Amino acid sequence: MRKNPPDPITPNPLFTRRLLLGSTAAGLAATSLGACATSGDDGGVKEITLGDDPENPFGVDPEAPLDVVIFDGGFGKEYAVQHQALYNEAFGDAEIEFLATQAISETQQPRFAEGKPADVLDNSGAQQIPLDSLVSDGELVELTPLLDAPSYDDPEVTVRETLRDGVLESGMFNGEFYVLNYVYSAWTIWYNAKLFRDKGWTAPATWDEMLALCEDIKAEGIAPWTYAGKHPVYLYDWFLMLAGRHGGVEVVRAIDHLEPDAWRHDSVRAAAEAMYGLWESGYILEGTPGIDHIQSQTAFNEDRAAFIPCGSWLPNEQSAIAPEDFEYMPIGVPYLEGSVQPGLISAGGEEPFVVPKNATNLAGAAEYLRIMLSAEGSQIFGDTVQATTVVKGVVLDNPAAKATDALVADPENLFQPRFRFWYKTMDDEVRAALGALMSGESTPDELIERMQTVADETAADDNIEKFTHDE
Query: In terms of pTM, does the model score above 0.75?
Result: yes
**Any domain includes 371:** yes
CATH code for the domain in which residue 258 is found = 3.40.190.10
Which of these, 399, 461, 396, 380, lies nearest to 426 by C-alpha position? Answer: 461
**Any domain includes 5:** no
**Any domain includes 8:** no
Count Cβ neighbours within 10 Å for each residue of 49-78 and write b for 16 or more, e otherwise.
Answer: ebeeeeeebbbbeeebebbbbbbbbbbbbe
Longest dimension (CA), the chain: 68
Looking at residue 44, what is its pLDDT? Answer: 53
Q: Are 176 and 390 contacting, i.e. CB atoms less than 8 angstroms apart? A: no
Same domain membership, residue 340 and residue 284:
yes
Same domain membership, residue 295 and residue 213:
yes
Same domain membership, residue 177 and residue 312:
no
Same domain membership, residue 211 and residue 92:
no
Q: Are 235 and 310 contacting, i.e. CB atoms less than 8 angstroms apart? A: no
Same domain membership, residue 320 and residue 206:
yes
**Any domain includes 469:** no
**Any domain includes 157:** yes
Same domain membership, residue 294 and residue 435:
yes
Same domain membership, residue 373 and residue 249:
no
- 10-residue block means of pLDDT along the chain (471 residues)? 30 31 32 36 72 96 98 93 98 98 97 97 94 94 98 97 90 93 94 98 98 98 97 94 98 98 98 98 97 96 98 89 96 98 94 97 98 97 90 88 89 92 93 97 98 98 90 50
Same domain membership, residue 339 and residue 385:
no
**Any domain includes 280:** yes
Same domain membership, residue 227 and residue 116:
no
Same domain membership, residue 370 and residue 275:
no
Q: Determine the structural domain holding residue 274 and report its residue range.
A: 186-347+423-460
**Any domain includes 103:** yes
How crowded is residue 320: how many other Cβ atoms within 10 Å of its Cβ?
6
What contacts 24+ positions apart, CB below 8 Å, involve 314-323? 314/74, 314/190, 315/386, 315/398, 315/400, 316/74, 316/75, 316/76, 316/385, 316/386, 316/387, 317/73, 317/74, 317/75, 321/297
Domain count of the chain?
A: 2
430 SS3 class: helix
Residue 440 zone, left/alpha/beta (φ > 0; ψ -120 to 50; rest): left
Same domain membership, residue 200 and residue 319:
yes
Q: pLDDT (tens digit, 9 = 90+) per residue, 300-349? A: 999 999 999 999 889 988 988 999 999 999 999 999 999 999 999 999 89
Same domain membership, residue 116 and residue 171:
yes
Q: pLDDT (tens digit, 9 = 90+) per residue, 178-217? A: 999 999 989 999 999 999 999 999 999 999 999 999 999 9
Angstrom CA distances, 341 to 244, 248, 383, stand at 7, 5, 33
Cα angle 320, 321, 325; round to 5 = 95
Q: Are 66 and 87 contacting, i.e. CB atoms less than 8 angstroms apart? A: yes
**Any domain includes 338:** yes
Looking at residue 42, what is its pLDDT? Answer: 46
